[in-house]
Every structure is written in C-alpha cells, then in structure tokens.
Amino acid sequence: MRDNRQTRLLALGTAAALTLAACGGGGSTAGVVTQPDVATPRASGATPQRTPKETDPPGVHKASPQTVAVITAWANTLRAGHVRKAATFFDLPVVVQNAGPAVRLTTKNDVLAFNRTLPCGAHVVRTIAGDRYTVATFVLTERPGSPGCGATGKLAATAFLLRHGKISEWRRVLVPPPLGPGESVQTPEQAT
C-alpha cells in the first residue's frame, strides 16, 4: 500500500466511520454514517449541485465519468430491488468493508450475499476522486425486498475502486466535506 496523504486520509476516514458506526449499535443501520442536520435533495426539494473546489478536501478531483456510471448503475439497480443484478457490478475477488474489518469475497454467492445485507437503496448525490479511490455520497432510501432501511433520507458514503470496469473494493467511509463532518476529523499532520 502506498504511503501518501490521500491514502492516510482515506484510512483515517474509514477508521472514523467504523468508530461512529460501532457507537450506533446494531440493527439495520449499523455501518451507516448519518449526518443529522444536513438537508438532503429528497427532503428539501433542492437539486444536488457540484460544490466549489475550495470546499473539497485536499487532493481530490472530479471523478471519471466511467467510474461514476458504474457506481450509479449499481446503486440504481440495488435501489430497484434487483439484488442479483446489482451483484454483477462486482469483480472477483472484491474487498468489502462495512462497519467492521475488510473482507475479501471470492465467489459470486459471497458477493450476492453481501449485496443482500445492504438494507437501504441509495441515490448518488456527489462523487469525488483521489489518487486511488472514488468516493460516492448517497442519500439512503427504502428498497424492495429489504426488511427496512431505518435511515431513509440520511447520507452515507462509500469509497470505490474499480478493476476491469467492475467494483473491486467497496469501503464505507465518512461523508466528505462539505456535506459531512470535515472539521471533526484531524489528519495526522494536524494532530499534535
């Protein structure tokens, strides 16, 4: 693993997300990082807009259209309740991490089971990219076939890495600024 600022920031964000998720208890929202006082496009009627560059975390840029297309297609498919089809957007092997340690999935059945464990559907509202990962911020929704989301209208974010046009890493992270708690997370350079 490369030791650069973007990797350290992503690792810090992942650790913080897992810490927050662990504090939230069990149930269907475990692993969902929510932002309670954020107006969502669905709740407020507002249209999502690209934020100015000065509000983006350091070292990020616009995500590639191809990557965004794969993430959006996966999210739309899962939100529609087509779990088996959603699983086809994942490459093998794939690393997934949702409120726990990273897990390497090596079979189609494992990937299908992982997608079934996701209780919510999601609308992509923002994407940003770093050197390695693309982070998508979602507004969570109910989805057919799920016992219930429990976090409808809340924000969640996932870091994606694609290989051969398919998802090879799926890691829950904090919602990036300006939608998420950027000031509450210190980078190693800021900590004293």
Determine if the pTM surpasses 0.75: no
Tell me the per-residue pLDDT of 14-41, one tens digit each, with 9 for 90 and over. 333 332 333 232 333 333 333 332 333 3
- What does the pLDDT read at residue 167? 98
From the list 132, 102, 96, 101, the residue with the least C-alpha distance to 116 is: 96
What domains sit in the chain, N to C, each tagged with a CATH number?
5-47+55-178 (3.10.450.50)
DSSP string covering 95-117:
EEESSSS-EEE-SHHHHHHHHHH
One-letter amino acid of 56 = D
Q: How many angstroms separate the Cα of 155 from the Cα of each of 61, 158, 165, 190?
A: 21, 10, 25, 26
Compute the distance between CA of residue 85 and CA of residue 71 in angstroms, rounded to an integer.
Answer: 13
Strands 166-173 and 103-105: unpaired
Stretch 172-177: mean pLDDT, rounded?
A: 92
Lowest mean pLDDT among 29-33, 121-125, 169-173: 29-33
